[in-house]
Structure 1
Amino acid sequence: MASSGAAVPFWRAAGMTYISYSNICASMVRNCLKEPHKTESISREKVHYSVSKWVDGKPQKPTVRSDDPDA
């Protein structure tokens, strides 16, 4: 028997995804660290990935992307 007033996680109630919530939490923890741990952890935060477009069923040359706003 499900309750219509079931509790939802606060990140969902705020209109966030779990990934965005966890990224905010991780960023807050990184910013609380003392040096040199802070700099090391921030440098590991960057993500790089490649994207390939497909034409006629064959992948084209991949391009490397980054979520780093400074790149």
Structure 2
Amino acid sequence: MASTSAAVPFWRSAGITYVAYSNVCANLLRNCLKEPHKSEVLTRGKVHFSRSKWTNGKPQKPTLRSDTPED
């Protein structure tokens, strides 16, 4: 017999999104690899994107963003 309350995924009960949970798992896996595979996949883990503000229905100048810490 099924229970009346559904099980809550632990990532949701921890207060993070599934995408954040997935990123944590991917980073752990990348760091567990041995060379030369580790250095190869660490470069694929970097994400770059551009972001544009919209005013009056028109995009403004885009800015390049990255998930890496800025110095």
After superposition, the CA RMSD in angstroms is 1.8
2:16 is paired with a residue whose SS is coil
Report the secondary structure of 1:35's partner residue. coil
Partner of 1:6: 6
SS in 2 for 1:21: helix
**Deviation (angstroms), 1:20:** 0.9
Letter in 2 for 1:53: K
Q: Secondary structure at the match of 1:69?
A: coil
User: What secondary structure does 1:68 align onto?
Assistant: coil
Q: TM-score, normalised by structure 1?
A: 0.83
Q: Give deviations 1:25-57, integer Å, cap 9, x for gaps.
A: 101100110111111111111111111122332
1:64 aligned counterpart, secondary structure: strand
Helix, strand or coil at the partner of 1:46 = coil
How many residue pairs align between the two structures? 70
Residue segments in structure 1 that go unaligned for 5+ positions in a row: none
Measure, in 2, the Cα distance between the counterparts of 1:55 and 1:16. Answer: 31
Letter in 1 for 2:61: K
Structure 1 pair 56–5 and aligned structure 2 pair: CA distance change class (3 A): closer
Name 1:59's counterpart in structure 2: 59
Identity over aligned residues, as a percent? 67
